[in-house]
């Protein structure tokens, strides 16, 4: 049994060793806080990029923007790097900033409990160990639990089942009859990568995505050299990419003439790559661009038109032992079914029970949709910081840009707690509510809330995921820790 | 037929699915088709199958224009279900030795025109135009053609397949008439004005030019099979009876048009209608095959194979 009084209390406990967790650790360390522990449920760092190693996995944001500004990488091999290279970058971060010493691998957190008397968070784990910390950073990732679709008979299938986020690299797809369920971000990368290997590929689509051309090219050596010798040049490119993506917000987030322009580009891309009128009709989205995630690919449409590939848009009736039965009455038989069906997004719950002041349960409070103050704090849960918390998701810019804003905010808040020797920094309920009223009002005018079904929304259509604005606006919101919005709890 | 709750209907549709492999297409009974029946049945089945197939395409267009998510999903299912019916009917043709391996029966010229029209213009039509025409075609099919078939053919597999098909069709009709009533609900004058504008749309006129001869062609096929055409008319009159059962239904201007058109079709004495339309059937029959453009790729989606 753990001795509560003698077990050390660290300044910061970070849950998850993906981009957010490691980034937080780096910035805390840079600010002189190295009294921390990172708990990681897996045996490796990398989070999303460790799990998503399916064939063709890559980022759909340019690498020079999908990386930390405080840890630039001059050696990105392509404009849009693959998952393996991004994972390599994450490993490089661990080495460069000597983060391994903080990480406890194979440690799955099962609960967080606020000890009101001591002003300490207590983290229980699957292995039975308990960790204590003054502050906690939730960096378990919003997209960390693979989600299987709710299709009748899914358990009956006797062939191989693979989820895109749990790829089985030992399974040989060569010569197999393969079905891909889903046509989202993962599927449009998997399909072109495997169509040349398999005997037959059938892609099941419910809703067609908006797909834009992907300007992907190899980085020339001179550019890598320039970035190494002149880091300012890489910084300039990053800024240019940032601004280019910021301008996309005008078309993606709000309905504007730029939305029409982007839709035209999407339709041009489709017309250019797909000559058959019916197939084009099947692939034409029936909803406003931006309502769901806009995808980028220049090889998805050509892959669908390979002789061994077939797009099925009939609704799925059920899955049976041999394959997928669609409503037009045909049983599509497969050796392997790939579920590119995304994740169980935690926009309506917490990954494990979190107990705050006076025994309140965050899960209960978030039952009807999650909400937080500036996406990062929740009233009644002092010293608990969320990364990728409610309404922090970008639709048009790099997630890491948002993440940096969050991390810097966390660092400032942790420094405030330690320098003022506070027991707790607890956001005021009124500040949280007024923030969310404004957010929801702004959200109601965005493309995400125009009626399509997406993972951004809960079953009831509540948007607890996206931030309705520019990344620059978000960064401004996160620039200062406004102490008047918090209750400063002193040690008694 | 009472007005239905579309959300409950969608659940019902989802829980009532069947596959071609639920029917044993090799079971005994195929020999019950007589030599005399065989050639007529072959032509009849090919037309029936194609009518189901073009009906499917009409539902695809309606799904695109549906006014809400529930109706969109219902029409998406109906699109697939009509295709399933066409597939099942093709499987029956295969069972009866009417198709070679991988053979696709040729659609008649009227159907080719309808296919062409659907492919080019259906997606641009307001949902309520197709939403009124399709129930008329379905009721003619459901109440007449399929019924005739079951009265004529003794093969138990045919009966089994059509029991499944007819269960689907009754749901299609239930939704069809409910939507017609929704359309008629309290907006007569506005709709009337809009309808007049739509009627002047050349794309719709082309549609009418393909639809009118199709019904006459169906009638001719029925007579060809030695069946009384009155049964088709009785089925078409059901459209008038059910569609006009409520104030809302009667207020739907499209219902009124299709109803009056139905009356013309049924009245063989109306030479002003039948002479030109029959002439149109003859003209379309005379169009050489090569005059038609290549069939759209959705046409080739049809299959008698139970698995893929």
Q: Do A328 and B87 touch (CB under 8 A)?
A: yes
Residue to test with chain A: of B13, B14, B64, B80, most A Cβ within 10 A: B80
What is the per-residue pLDDT for B83?
A: 94
Residues A304, A421 share a domain: no
What does chain B come to in residues? Answer: 308
Task: Give the distance from residue B85's alpha carbon to the nearest chain A alpha carbon, in angstroms.
Answer: 8
Q: Do A331 and B307 touch (CB under 8 A)?
A: yes
| A130, A147 Cβ separation under 8 angstroms | no
Residues A364, A293 share a domain: no
Ramachandran angles phi, psi of A251, nearest 5°: -95, -35
Average pLDDT for residues B294-302, to the nearest whole number?
85
Using a CB–CB cutoff of 8 Å, tell me whether B181 touches chain A: no
The boundaries of the domain holding residue A167 are: 154-210+254-339
Cα A83 from chain centroid? 14
Instruction: Report the DSSP pairing between strands A422-427 and A486-490.
Output: antiparallel
Residues A447, A335 share a domain: no
What is the per-residue pLDDT for B200?
A: 62
Task: Give the distance from residue B18's alpha carbon to the nearest chain A alpha carbon, in angstroms.
Answer: 6
Of B80, B297, B307, the CB nearest to A279: B297
Domain ranges of chain B: 34-299
Task: Decide if pLDDT at B175 tops 80.
Answer: yes
Q: Which CATH class is domain B34-299?
A: mainly alpha
Helix (H) or strand (E) holding B162: helix B156-184
What is the per-residue pLDDT for B217?
A: 79
Average pLDDT for residues B131-140, to the nearest whole number?
82
Residues A159, A136 share a domain: no
Q: Tell me the ipTM for this assembly.
A: 0.86
Separation of alpha carbons B149 and B269, rounded Å: 27
Helix (H) or strand (E) holding B180: helix B156-184
pLDDT band at B151 (very low <50, low <70, confident <90, very high): confident
Separation of alpha carbons A300 and A192, rounded Å: 6
Last residue of a domain, one of A291, A316, A339: A339
| A381, A426 Cβ separation under 8 angstroms | yes
Separation of alpha carbons A309 and A303, rounded Å: 7
Residues A380, A318 share a domain: no
Q: What is the DSSP string of B187-215?
A: -HHHHHHHHHHHHT-HHHHHHHHHHHHHH
Residues A39, A136 share a domain: yes
Separation of alpha carbons A83 and A97, rounded Å: 21
Structure token pair of residue A47: 């989070």
Task: Give the distance from residue A367's alpha carbon to the nearest chain B alpha carbon, in angstroms.
Answer: 25
Long-range contacts of B148-153 (CB under 8 A, 24+ apart): B148/B222, B148/B225, B148/B227, B148/B231, B149/B44, B149/B48, B152/B37, B152/B41, B152/B225, B152/B227, B153/B32, B153/B33, B153/B37, B153/B41
Residues A357, A431 share a domain: yes
Nearest-by-CA chain B residue for A281: B123
| A300, A269 Cβ separation under 8 angstroms | no
| A71, A93 Cβ separation under 8 angstroms | yes
Q: Do B307 and A202 touch (CB under 8 A)?
A: no
Residues A426, A328 share a domain: no
Whole-angstrom CA distances from A133 to A11, A118, A412, B55 are 5, 10, 17, 66
* Helix/strand/coil for B305: coil
Q: Do A277 and B20 touch (CB under 8 A)?
A: no
Give, as one character, the DSSP assignment of residue B145: I
Does the residue A243 lie in any domain? Answer: no
Least reliable range by pLDDT among B64-73, B81-90, B291-300: B291-300
Does the residue A219 lie in any domain? Answer: no
pLDDT band at B199 (very low <50, low <70, confident <90, very high): low
Task: Give the distance from residue B14's alpha carbon to the nearest chain A alpha carbon, in angstroms.
Answer: 7
Separation of alpha carbons A124 and A133, rounded Å: 12
Residues A293, A177 share a domain: yes
* Number of domains chain A is built from: 2
What is the per-residue pLDDT for B188?
A: 58
CATH code, domain carrying A124:
3.50.50.60
Residue-level pLDDT, tens digit, chain A, 492 residues: 445 556 799 999 999 999 999 999 999 999 999 999 999 999 999 999 999 999 999 998 999 999 999 999 999 999 999 999 999 999 999 999 999 999 999 999 999 999 999 999 999 999 999 999 999 999 998 777 787 888 999 999 999 999 998 999 999 999 999 999 999 999 999 999 999 999 999 999 999 999 999 999 999 999 999 999 999 999 999 999 999 999 999 988 888 999 999 999 999 999 999 999 999 999 999 888 888 889 999 999 999 999 999 999 999 999 999 999 999 999 999 999 999 988 776 545 788 999 999 999 999 998 878 899 999 999 999 999 999 999 998 888 999 999 999 999 999 999 999 999 999 999 999 999 999 999 999 998 888 887 777 878 877 788 888 999 999 999 999 999 999 999 999 987
Separation of alpha carbons B133 and B60, rounded Å: 14
Helix (H) or strand (E) holding B13: helix B6-15
Q: How many CB atoms lie within 10 A of CB B59?
A: 25
Identify the sign of the CA torsion B297, B299, B301, B304. negative
Using a CB–CB cutoff of 8 Å, tell me whether A63 touches chain B: no
* Helix/strand/coil for B14: helix
Closest CA to A122 of A384, A410, A492, A389: A384
Separation of alpha carbons B126 and B254, rounded Å: 11
CB-based burial, A25-40: b 16+ in 10 Å, e otherwise: bbbbbeeebeebbbbb
| A453-472 residues touching B, CB cutoff 8 A | 453
* Helix/strand/coil for B307: strand
Burial label for B3, CB within 10 Å (0-12, 13-18, 19+), is: middle
Percent of chain B clearing pLDDT 90 (strictly above): 29
Residue to test with chain A: of B19, B87, B119, B293, most A Cβ within 10 A: B19
Helix (H) or strand (E) holding B256: helix B253-266
Separation of alpha carbons A198 and A182, rounded Å: 18
Residue to test with chain B: of A330, A332, A333, A453, most B Cβ within 10 A: A330
| B262, B270 Cβ separation under 8 angstroms | no
Using a CB–CB cutoff of 8 Å, tell me whether B305 touches chain A: yes
Does the residue A216 lie in any domain? Answer: no
What is the per-residue pLDDT for B191?
A: 62
Last residue of a domain, one of A282, A312, A339: A339
Residues A204, A93 share a domain: no
Does the residue A476 lie in any domain? Answer: yes
Separation of alpha carbons A342 and A191, rounded Å: 15
Residues A359, A328 share a domain: no
Of B84, B88, B297, the CB nearest to A276: B297
What is the per-residue pLDDT for A1?
A: 44
Separation of alpha carbons A233 and A401, rounded Å: 19
Residues A354, A335 share a domain: no
What angle in degrees, to the nearest 10, is found between the helix axes of B271-286 and B202-224? 90
| B63-82 residues touching A, CB cutoff 8 A | 64, 69, 73, 76-77, 80-81
Does the residue A1 lie in any domain? Answer: no
Cβ-Cβ contacts under 8 Å, A277 against chain B: 119, 296-297
Last residue of a domain, one of A339, A360, A375: A339
């Amino acid at each position: 049994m753990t001795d509560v009084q003698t077990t050390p209390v660290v300044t910061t406990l970070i849950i998850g060793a993906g981009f957010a967790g490691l980034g937080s650790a780096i910035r805390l360390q840079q600010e002189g806080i190295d009294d921390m522990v990172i708990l990681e449920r897996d045996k490796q760092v990398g989070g999303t990029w460790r799990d998503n190693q399916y064939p063709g996995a890559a980022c759909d944001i340019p690498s020079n923007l999908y990386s930390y500004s405080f840890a630039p990488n001059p050696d990105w091999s392509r404009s849009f790097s693959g998952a393996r290279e991004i994972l390599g970058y994450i490993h490089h971060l661990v080495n460069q900033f000597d983060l391994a010493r903080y990480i406890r691998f194979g440690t799955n957190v099962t609960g967080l409990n606020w000890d009101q008397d001591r002003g300490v968070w207590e983290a229980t784990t699957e292995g039975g160990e308990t960790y204590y910390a003054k502050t906690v950073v939730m960096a378990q990732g919003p997209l960390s639990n693979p989600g299987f679709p709710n299709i009748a008979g899914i358990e009956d299938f006797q062939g191989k089942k693979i989820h895109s986020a749990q790829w089985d690299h030992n399974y040989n797809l060569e010569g197999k009859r393969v079905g891909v369920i889903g046509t989202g971000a993962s599927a449009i990368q998997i399909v072109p990568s495997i169509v040349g290997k398999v005997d037959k590929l059938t892609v099941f689509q419910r809703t067609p995505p908006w797909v834009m051309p992907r300007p992907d090219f190899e980085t020339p050596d001179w550019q890598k050299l320039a970035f190494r010798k002149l880091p300012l040049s890489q910084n300039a490119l990053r800024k240019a990419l940032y601004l280019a993506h910021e301008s996309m917000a005008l078309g993606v987030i709000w309905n504007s003439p730029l939305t029409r322009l982007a839709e035209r580009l999407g339709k041009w891309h489709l017309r250019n790559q797909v000559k058959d009128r019916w197939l084009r009709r099947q692939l034409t989205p029936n909803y406003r661009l931006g309502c769901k995630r806009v995808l980028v690919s220049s090889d998805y449409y050509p892959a669908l038109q390979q002789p061994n590939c077939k797009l099925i848009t009939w609704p799925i009736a059920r899955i049976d032992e041999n394959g997928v039965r669609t409503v037009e009455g045909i049983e599509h038989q497969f050796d392997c079914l790939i579920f590119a069906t995304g994740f169980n997004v935690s926009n309506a719950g917490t990954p494990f029970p979190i107990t705050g002041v006076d025994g309140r349960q965050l899960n209960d409070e978030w039952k009807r949709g999650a909400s937080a103050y500036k996406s990062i704090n929740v009233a009644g849960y002092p010293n608990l910081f969320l990364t990728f918390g409610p309404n922090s998701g970008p639709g048009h810019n790099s997630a890491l840009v948002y993440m940096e804003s969050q991390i810097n905010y966390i660092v400032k808040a942790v420094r405030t707690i330690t320098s003022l020797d506070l027991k707790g920094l607890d956001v005021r309920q009124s500040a949280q509510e007024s923030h969310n009223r404004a957010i929801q009002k702004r959200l109601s005018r965005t493309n995400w809330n125009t009626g399509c079904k997406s993972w951004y929304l809960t079953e009831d259509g509540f948007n607890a995921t996206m931030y309705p604005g520019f990344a620059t606006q978000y960064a401004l919101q996160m620039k200062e820790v406004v102490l008047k919005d918090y209750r400063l709890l002193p040690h008694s | 037929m009472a007005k239905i709750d579309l959300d409950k209907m969608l659940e019902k549709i989802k829980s009532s699915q069947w596959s071609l492999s639920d029917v044993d297409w090799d079971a005994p009974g195929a020999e019950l088709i007589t030599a005399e029946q065989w050639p007529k049945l072959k032509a009849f089945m090919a037309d029936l199958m194609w009518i189901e197939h073009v009906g499917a395409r009409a539902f695809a267009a309606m799904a695109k224009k549906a006014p809400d998510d529930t109706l969109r999903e219902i029409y998406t299912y109906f699109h697939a279900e009509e295709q399933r019916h066409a597939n099942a009917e093709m499987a029956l043709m295969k069972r009866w030795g009417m198709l070679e391996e991988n053979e696709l029966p040729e659609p008649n010229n009227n159907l080719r025109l309808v296919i062409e029209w659907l492919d080019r213009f259906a997606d641009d039509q307001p949902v309520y135009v197709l939403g009124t025409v399709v129930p008329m075609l379905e009721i003619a099919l459901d109440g007449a053609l399929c019924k005739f078939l079951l009265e004529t053919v003794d093969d138990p597999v045919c009966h089994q397949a059509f029991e499944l098909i007819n269960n689907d069709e009754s749901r299609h009709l239930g939704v069809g008439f409910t939507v017609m009533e929704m359309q008629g609900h309290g907006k007569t004058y506005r709709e009337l004005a809009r309808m007049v504008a739509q009627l002047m749309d050349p794309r719709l006129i082309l549609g009418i030019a393909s639809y009118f001869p199709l019904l006459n062609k169906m009638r001719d096929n029925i007579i060809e099979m030695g069946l009384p055409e009155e049964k088709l008319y009785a089925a078409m009159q059901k459209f008038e009876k059910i569609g006009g059962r409520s104030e809302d239904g009667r207020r739907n201007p499209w219902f009124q048009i299709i109803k009056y058109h139905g009356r013309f079709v049924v009245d063989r004495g109306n030479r002003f209608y039948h002479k030109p339309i029959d002439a149109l059937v003859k003209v379309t029959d005379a169009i050489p095959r090569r005059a038609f453009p290549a069939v759209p790729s959705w046409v080739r989606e049809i299959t008698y194979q139970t698995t893929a």
